[in-house]
Chains A and B, each alone.
Chain A
Amino acid sequence: MGAALLSFALAASAADPFADAFWHKDLGLLVALLAEPGDWREDEARALFADLVRLVNCEPLPPIPNADPTPLREERQLIRLERARRARLGAAAASSATLWRDILSTAFFNRALGAGPEGTVLFWPVETEKWSNEALRAKVRASACAAVGAATAPGQAKSATELELASDVLLLNLRRAAAPDKTLRPAAARLAYQRAVLLARAGQTEAAKQAAAQILPPELLGPALSKYALLLRLELGVDPPEGYAALYGQSFGANQAAVDERLAYGLHRSGSWALLEKVTAAPRAMAPAALCDKAGSPLPRDLLYRHALAQEKLGATAEVDAVLAQAFPACASLTEPAVDALKDLAITHYARRTLDAALEQRLKELDPPGRLARDVQKLGARALHAGNLTTAGMAMGWLITDRTATGRARGWVLEAEIAYALQDGKRFDRAVQSIFPDPAFDSLRAHERDERDRAVEELAQALVTTAEDEADADFRKRLHAQLPVWRERAAIKREPSFNALLAALESRPVPLGGDKRKRPTAEVAVGSIQVAPPEAVIPPPEVQFDWPEPYSLLAVPPPPGAPRGADFRAWFGEGDDAKR
């Protein structure tokens, strides 16, 4: 309480002349006031404003004695913290969104001894007699700010780092002072935020979390910074993820894509398609070349995928087509989860249509050359599962007349799947026979056989997993007869997979091949599994936030005309975070 009362008293009286000069940016007057002898009651304010002059003029800051801590000790330490920030920013300080941009501008403070044309200003010695129209002023020493890292005086030990100065002790003391004196609470919140950001950048997540937990409430940081404080608390796990929704509609500048990504992931998980569609709309404005630039961030592509998914869920077919036309063929050669998922979504989307020349062209644009047959097979399978037998049949017809052997093999695999879905045994047998012709006439090369074997294995998995529910007894018997044949004809490396599928079909434990340490497992087909589009929510790509810093970390007594109980201020007008 003593600290609070004294700081109020300082703000109300002893600090007034200094604060008045400071808030009028009148360095010439402030320096003169500090040079004049004063009352002992001014000592605390005098020390604080002397430090401020040293800060803005980049003069060495003397150490604060450890003994006999004074009420303004924390405020003076904040000045040293600000100096350390300048050392870190280096040459970039002049253009940074910090008070250093102002300090390093020579015109920001009035340093003139007197204003007026040459010869029109009169200088009188400082005497006890005070005449009207005479103003106390001093010639201000030239700023030493041009030298980067001017924080250390000659012969002085290396300055403490920013993180050392923004210590938990300082934060604790400032919060303790702010407990009874609410005028210091914004300064305490700024320090907590800055400490959390510094620790997060240093990878000290747990300590950063503790600091972020002390940004109470974030609104004290002002509108521009409080939303970042909320985001920081969410990222560090101080607040639960549901809090991300509160960030919707707020502008985050260069960090917007990263914030949108966080929002989109949460909305995707919760199936909030309408809001997801809005949050992810930004990449729709990007040119395809910029969107699919390999050197660029994957965030826009991830957002675009989730946007397309939201549109698909909302039934906006035309918009999905537009998104796909934006992304492909520009993104065809990219291999990353979001692009793969978008391709998958495209095939599911197209599977509801008739396979014509236009759709074939769209399929060609999805992937680099050489993958069209695989995509047509996928399209056919998805069409089959969607009940679009026409397109499934057309896809099969397209494949079996393909000029590549693997394409034709895929066509027969698809035909077998169609026959299975129709429970047409003869058709199924004919398809299987075409997949594996007489070995004497099997002209496939090694890599083509591998492709075919993989397609057959995928078919076997699909059939076995659905056999229990969809196949009649006759068909299960037919499948039971075919699986050993497929195992024999496929490459030996696929034998374990076929054994497992055969065991699952027979509902018996899988043979373990002599390893008695493993427990026997039973592979059982338990029912229908959605094999068409995977509904798993792909995790978001890594995002990097460029955490903005408080414009000022200072706590300066308000000017004399401020209302009673006004907060200690951070900086002038626009630089005060509370007003931004």
Chain B
Amino acid sequence: MSALLLAATLLAAAPAPAAEPPPPLSPGLEGAPVRVERRLLVKNSHFFFTLGADYFIRGDYYVSPGVVGAASFYLTEHDGLDIKVGAFLSFMSPAAQVVFQSVHLIPDAQRPVALLVAGYRRSVGYGKVMLNGLMDSLLHFDLQIAGHAGIVITDRMASPALSVAPALLVRFSDRWFAQVDVELYASYETRQSAPFVVGILPTFTAGVVL
């Protein structure tokens, strides 16, 4: 107890610790050091042409795989314009086929046949990934958001459509790359039920940059 009292007394009597002088500024430094890297996935003023597969999911009794081609041109490293053309190999889903055969009713939904849209892409991030520390596995990619407008051609009409999508542009080499989009589509179709149709269109394409 007496020891504690002594310690408390000493602490109370001790002068306040002098204020630490500010650390000297690092010479020539403004801000903080960074690591700098030259961008490998360069898009500015380049054309990107891709071709690949997609799958239109609309919950409309149709199975709609397809092929899609796109051409993009980037005005800056962040901003690009593109056009997409796609064709769907749609067919009635097995469940709808059973209903049709049993009650002879066909879905009110329209069968997607083709797609033609144009839009805008915005790069919002840049990243890279390396697997197990293998230098050869290092991939650089661009995280994007995209918005498109155009038409979805069905077996009955050409319906206006809008889409937004998160996207990934992955660099394989100076020439080759891949593009992954997961688009959320909304289109207008004349049907007896609600005319607005919403769907998801994942696409995977690969192509060249020029």
List the interface of chain A (C-beta within 8 A of B): 27, 30-32, 34-36, 50-51, 53-54, 57, 59, 62, 113-114, 116-117, 119-127, 131-142
Contacts and interface: CB of A to CB of B under 8 A. Distances in A.
Contacts of B44: 117, 119-120
B104 interface: no
Nearest to A120: B39
B32 A138 contact: yes
30 contacts: A27-B28, A31-B27, A31-B29, A31-B33, A32-B29, A34-B29, A35-B26, A35-B33, A116-B39, A117-B44, A119-B39, A119-B78, A121-B37, A121-B39, A124-B36, A126-B32, A126-B35, A131-B128, A132-B135, A133-B38, A135-B36, A135-B37, A136-B35, A137-B36, A138-B28, A138-B29, A138-B33, A139-B34, A140-B29, A141-B28
B33 A137 contact: yes
B137 interface: no
Contacts of B24: 62
Given A114-B36, A137-B34, 9 more contacts: A50-B26, A62-B24, A119-B78, A133-B37, A134-B36, A136-B33, A136-B34, A140-B28, A140-B30
Interface in B18-67: 24, 26-40, 42, 44
Given A119-B76, A120-B77, A132-B138, A113 B27 contact: no
A137 B32 CA distance: 9
A141 B29 contact: yes
A461 B35 CA distance: 96
B33 A126 contact: yes
Q: Which of B24, B32, B40 lies at the interface centre, i.e. has the most chain A CB atoms within 10 A of its CB?
A: B32
Contact of B32 (A35, A57, A134): A35
Contact of B27 (A50, A114, A136, A137): A50
Contacts of B196: none
Given A50-B27, A54-B27, A62-B24, A138 B34 contact: yes
A485 B34 CA distance: 107
A59 B28 contact: yes
Contacts of A125: 34-35
Contacts of B78: 119
A136 B32 CA distance: 11
Given A35-B26, A35-B29, A135 B76 contact: no
A117 B38 CA distance: 10
Contacts of A53: 27-28
Which size class do B's interface residues fall under?
20 to 34
B36 A113 contact: yes
A122 B39 contact: yes
Contacts of A119: 39, 44, 76-78
B23 to A, nearest CB: 11
B29 to A, nearest CB: 5
A121 B77 CA distance: 11
Contacts of A50: 26-27
A32 B33 contact: yes
Given A119-B76, A119-B77, A122-B126, A139 B39 contact: no
A150 B62 CA distance: 78
Nearest to B130: A131
A124 B35 contact: yes
A54 to B, nearest CB: 5
A57 B27 contact: yes
A120 B41 CA distance: 9
Contacts of B34: 32, 113, 123-126, 136-139
A151 to B, nearest CB: 14
B73 to A, nearest CB: 16
Nearest to B128: A131
Contacts of B130: 131
Nearest to A116: B38
A109 to B, nearest CB: 10
B135 to A, nearest CB: 6
A576 to B, nearest CB: 23
A51 B27 CA distance: 8
Contacts of B30: 138-142
Contact of A137 (B35, B39, B40): B35
B28 to A, nearest CB: 4
A137 B28 CA distance: 12
B36 A121 contact: yes
B28 A134 contact: no
B96 to A, nearest CB: 50
Contacts of B42: 120
B27 A34 contact: yes
Q: Which of A57, A131, A136, A138 lies at the interface centre, i.e. has the most chain B CB atoms within 10 A of its CB?
A: A138
B36 A123 contact: yes
Contacts of A122: 36-39, 126
A123 B27 contact: no
B39 A134 contact: no
A57 B28 CA distance: 7
Q: Please provide the 9 A-B residue pairs with the shortest distance between their CB atoms, ordered closest to farther.
A: A119-B77, A32-B33, A53-B27, A35-B26, A114-B36, A134-B35, A31-B28, A124-B35, A141-B30
Contacts of A54: 27-28
Contacts of B37: 121-124, 131, 133-135
Nearest to B39: A120
A142 to B, nearest CB: 8
A196 B130 CA distance: 62
Interface string B74-97: 001110000000000000000000
Contacts of B77: 119-120
Contact of A34 (B26, B31, B128, B138): B26
A34 B32 CA distance: 11
A290 B44 CA distance: 65
